[in-house]
Every structure is written in C-alpha cells, then in structure tokens.
Amino acid sequence: MQKRDLPAGISRTLRNVLSLNLQNKILLLVLIPLVISSTSLVLMENMARIEDMRTQLAQQRTLLTESRQQGVKDVVALARSMVQQVATGTADPEVAKETAKALLRNMRFGDGNYVFVFDHAGTMLVQPAVPRQEGTRMIDATDPNGKPLIRDMIDVARNGGGHYQYAWPHPGTGRQEPKYSYVANLPEWGWVIGAGVYVTDIDAAMTAIEQVAQENLSATLLRFFLISSALLLAITVLTVLVTRRIVRQIRDTATTMEKIAHEVADGRGDLTRRLRITSSDEIGELATQFNGFLARIQATLIEVRQSASDVYQASTEIAQSSEELASRTDQAAASLQQTSSAMEQITSTVGNNAEHAQEADRLVQSAAQVAHQGREAMEKVEKTMADISRSSTQIGDILSMIDAIAFQTNILALNASVEAARAGDHGRGFAVVAQEVRMLAQRSADAAKQIKTLIGESVEHSRSGAEIVQQAGRTMQLIVQRVTEVTSAIAEISAGSREQSVGIGEVNTAVTQMDTMTQQNAAMVEQNAATASTMRAHAEHLNHLIRAFVLGDAATSAAGHPAVSTPGALPHTLDGAAPRAALPPRRALSAG
C-alpha cells in the first residue's frame, strides 16, 4: 500500500514541533489539549445556557398565555355572574338588560381590555371599543383570514363556552391583531358574553422578559469566560514551572550519566561510584535504575574476573586429566574387544534356544488340535446319551398307557364274568372267554411292569453315563485350556528368544560402535589438551582487560544507593565513597 504524503503545511508544522526542545514539547503536550478542552467547555456551556434560556422563555410564554387566557375566563365569569344578579334583582326584564349593558360597558381589565356582548342572532349589544357597532347585526362578519368569528363564538358559547382565537382591530393602533377571547352563554336572555386579550400584549411582555434574560445570560457567560481564562493562565504558569523543574532534573541526570558512560567506555571507569539521588519521582527512579545498572555491571565484571581465574586453573587441570584419559581410553578399547567376542558366543546360544522354542511350539499346537478333536467327540457322545434318555422316557410313557389299558381290560372281563354268571348255562361259554381275556390282560400288565422296570434301570444307567460323559467333557475342556496356555507360554518364549537375539545383535553392534568411538575419543583427548592451552592464554588476556576497571570486592558490588536527600536539582558531582548497604532489588521508588 503506497504511503500518502501529508500536505506541505502540516508536514512543515510537524517538523517544527519535533525540532523543539523537551520543555517546549511538554508545554505543547499539556497546553494544547488544555486550551482545546477549555474552549470546548466554554462553547458547550454557552450553547447549553442559550438552549436553557430558550426553553425557559418558551415555557414563560406558555405560562403567560395560559395566565392571560385564565384571566379572560375569570372576567367573563365575573360579568356573567353580575348580569345574573341584575336579572334576579330587577323585576322588569328590559330594565334589567339595560342596567346590565351599562355595567358591562364600564368594565375594564388589563391594559384597556373590555367585555363585549351579542345575542344569538348575531346582533352586537355591547361594544365599548366601537360603540357604533351596537345594534348592528354582525352574524356574517369575518376576520381578515375569512373566519366567521361571530357564528363560531355563538357555537362555542352554546357548547358550554371556551376560548376562541381570531383577528380584531386593536383600539390603540387600529390594525387587525391576533386576539384570544373567551365566550360564555347566557341562555335566559339569549346573550353571548365575551372578553379577550391581544397577542401583541403577550409579545410585549415577553420582549421585556427576553431582554432581562439576555442581559443575565451575557453577564453569566462573561463571568464564566473570565474564570476559565484565569484558571487557564494559572495552569499555564504552573505547567511552565513544573516542566522547567522536570527538564532541569532530566538534563542534570543525563549529563552525569553521560560522563560515567564515557569513562566506562574508555576503560578507565570507576564502577564503584554511584549517582546521588535527590528526589523520589521518576527522575529519582531513573537514577536508581542507573545505579543498579552500574552495580550489575560491577558484579558481572567481578564474576568474570573470578571466572577467568577459574578458567585458567581449569585449563591446567584439563591438560593433566587429558593424559590420564588417554591411558584409560586404551584400556577401554581392549576391554571392548573382549566384550565383543563374548557377545558373539551369547548370540549363537540364544539363536539355538529360539529354534528349540519354535519346535516345542509346533508340538504343543499339534497336541492342542488333538485335544480339540477329543472335546468335540465327547460333545457328540453326550448328545447321543441325552437322546437315549429321552427315548427311554417316551417308552416308559407308552408302557404306562399299556398298563392302564390292561387294567381296563381286566375290569371289563370281570364285568363280563359277572354277566355270564347271571345268564346261567347260556353264559357259560362267554364266562370262559372272559376268564381268558382277564388272564391275558393280567399277563400284559405284568409284562408292562417288568419292561417299565427295565426301562427305568436303563434310564438311570443312561443318566449316569451322561454325567460321566459331561465330566469327561469338562476334563477335556480343561485339558484344551491348559494346552492353549502352554501354547501361549511357548509362543512368548519363542518371541522372547527372537527379541533377545535381535537385542544381543544390537548390543554387539553398539559394542562395535563404542570401540570405534573409543578410538575417536583418544584423538579428541589430544585436541582437548591443545584447547586447554588456548583457554589459558585467553584467560590471561581477559584478566589484563578487567584490571583496567576499579571494581572493588564482592561486597562493594552489592552496595546500595545513597539515601534520598531533600528535593532539589540532581547535582553534577559523583559520590565516590564506597557503598555500605546491600543492593536492593529492582522496585518502584516510593520514598520522598
């Protein structure tokens, strides 16, 4: 996206602002928003007060209009009451009417306002402003706007009375002016009594009120402007004073920090010196942080000096240790060669174990297959024994039926013998036959009982055989389960043997790699010895560089800052005394 250039005037103004010193920038940063906000506040206050004045004037006009209309209504009510009293106190109606007219002609209220009367036919009866209109029929009279004012007021009066606005000649100017009137009906005489006020009277009163309100508003706005200007001037003076103090402290602190920084950069700095803190504001916090920065640099260089000495000693020890490491590396290489030979023998033995485990796995799987076949055969025998048991039960049921039939046959034969005995000689042959039938039935019953006994024994033997077969089936199932477990165990042994063979092969490879690495370590030991010599030379050079600084000891590097003095400008001098307290942790400065 192409950057749009600012107009030349704005760009030049920004450059001029940025080229100002810090004091003027702070003044602009404070005063410009203050002036803008103050001006905005004054304008908004003026607008608010003007709007309030307009609202109050509108309310005042409404109240004044309502007050005048209520006054007119009260005048009409008073006139109507007076006419009713005259009508009640006078016996002759005509005399009463003339008396009432005379009284109404003399009624005045406000600034020359009067009461007028006309009857329901539109004939003007009382008109103090224009006496010549009295007795004139004005039912068709209209105002300049074409409103039939007499007809309308008669209708309003007959409907209970009310206000009516129209245009009517003003007694003072003779011009048609808007007028508010109130009319009321007097039904016993057929009169309409009315009175009104001109809008120009209300406008004149409002003009006076508006003039007073405008004068009050002008005085209030002038006071507000003067107070705002005084406050703005006071804030400006205070801002200038505070800004000068802040800038002076920043300038003094920056100058002192620059001197210390140049000394440190030239390698001749005294890192035990600190800035003197004279305030507890952000400037004092800046000095505190700079002192902490110097303390951290001092502590770091002390640690570097100690580390350089340690590196020098360590490099000497590394050179000595390298010789011992070379001898031990040779011994390790010889031991690794022996270990490699032993691992080859172990690999061969583990391979044989794996082959034997695989052969045992095949044999166990064959035994498991035979056990499964035996289990299936036992299940078939168990099913056959169950079928025999069911058949024997059915045969027993059939024999029970035969026994019942033989019993019934015996009963029938007995009955036949009784009947033959009753028949005498004629039934003798039938009795012989019945006797034979009974004997056959008896033998059939005996044979059925014997067969049933044999069948019961057979069923019992079948049940015993079925239980034995079930027990044999459970035993065979247990054998199959154990064979399966043995198969799993042998499979795990076979897999473990294979994994051991692979693992031992990896160990053998690792031993070979370790042998190679040991040879490489021997070469690296020689390189370490050379590196140790180089490190010793660098440590000597680093100590030479650090000796250019004044560091003190570890207690000096952990010293704290001087106590905060009375508020004032930060001095250019340095406190060269050795600090006495421990360096506090980094924090926000809160002391005064």
Is the predicted pLDDT of residue 32 greater than 60, yes or no?
yes
| Same domain assignment for residues 319 and 182 | no
Residue 116: predicted pLDDT? 93
Domain limit, last residue, from 220, 247, 267: 220
Q: How far is CA 564 from the centre of its chain?
A: 46
Nearest to 294 by CA among 276, 270, 267, 313: 270
Domain that holds residue 359: 309-540
Dist CA 68 CA 74 (whole Å): 10
pLDDT digits (tens, 9 = 90+) for 319-351: 777 777 767 777 777 776 777 777 777 777 777
DSSP string, 43-81: HHHHHHHHHHHHHHHHHHHHHHHHHHHHHHHHHHHHHHH
Is the predicted pLDDT of residue 373 greater than 70, yes or no?
yes
Residue 570: predicted pLDDT? 36
Distances in Å between the Cα of 62 and the Cα atoms of 51, 56, 59, 109, 539 are: 17, 10, 5, 21, 100
pLDDT digits (tens, 9 = 90+) for 163-216: 888 887 776 666 777 888 899 999 889 999 999 887 766 666 667 677 777 777
Count how many domains the chain has: 2
Q: What percent of the chain lies above the pLDDT cut of 70?
A: 82
Q: In this structure, is residue 47 part of a structural domain?
A: no
| Same domain assignment for residues 316 and 416 | yes
Query: Could you tell me the CATH number of the domain that includes residue 370?
Result: 1.10.287.950
**3-class secondary structure, 111:** coil
Is the predicted pLDDT of residue 563 greater than 50, yes or no?
no
Q: In this structure, is residue 588 part of a structural domain?
A: no
Residue 184: predicted pLDDT? 93
Distances in Å between the Cα of 40 and the Cα atoms of 37, 46, 50, 474, 496 are: 5, 10, 15, 104, 91
Residue 6 — very low, low, confident or very high, per pLDDT cuts 50/70/90? low
Q: In this structure, is residue 550 part of a structural domain?
A: no
| Same domain assignment for residues 345 and 475 | yes
**Average of pLDDT values for 419-438?**
75
Dist CA 401 CA 195 (whole Å): 136
Domain limit, last residue, from 540, 569, 587: 540
Nearest to 53 by CA among 205, 199, 203, 209: 209
Q: In this structure, is residue 163 part of a structural domain?
A: yes
User: Who contacts 397 (Cβ-Cβ below 8 Å, separation ≥6)?
Assistant: none
Q: In this structure, is residue 31 part of a structural domain?
A: no
Rg (CA), the chain: 68
Q: How far is CA 562 from the centre of its chain?
A: 48
Q: In this structure, is residue 193 part of a structural domain?
A: yes
Q: Is the CB of residue 504 less than 8 Å from the CB of residue 512?
A: no
Question: For 162-218, what is the HEC assignment?
Answer: EEEEEEEECCCCCCEEEEEEEEEEECCCCEEEEEEEEHHHHHHHHHHHHHHHHHHHH
Domain limit, last residue, from 193, 220, 247: 220
Residue 52: predicted pLDDT? 77
Q: In this structure, is residue 469 part of a structural domain?
A: yes
Query: Could you tell me the CATH number of the domain that includes residue 170?
Result: 3.30.450.20
Dist CA 565 CA 579 (whole Å): 16
| Same domain assignment for residues 213 and 313 | no
Distances in Å between the Cα of 150 and the Cα atoms of 79, 113, 417 are: 19, 19, 150
| Same domain assignment for residues 394 and 534 | yes
Q: In this structure, is residue 249 part of a structural domain?
A: no
Amino acid identity, position 576: G
pLDDT digits (tens, 9 = 90+) for 447-474: 877 887 877 777 777 777 777 877 777 7
Task: Count how many residues are written for the chain.
Answer: 592
- Between 281 and 133, where is the model more confident? 133
- Between 101 and 481, where is the model more confident? 101
pLDDT digits (tens, 9 = 90+) for 55-81: 776 777 677 777 777 888 888 989 888
Token pair for residue 189? 């005489």
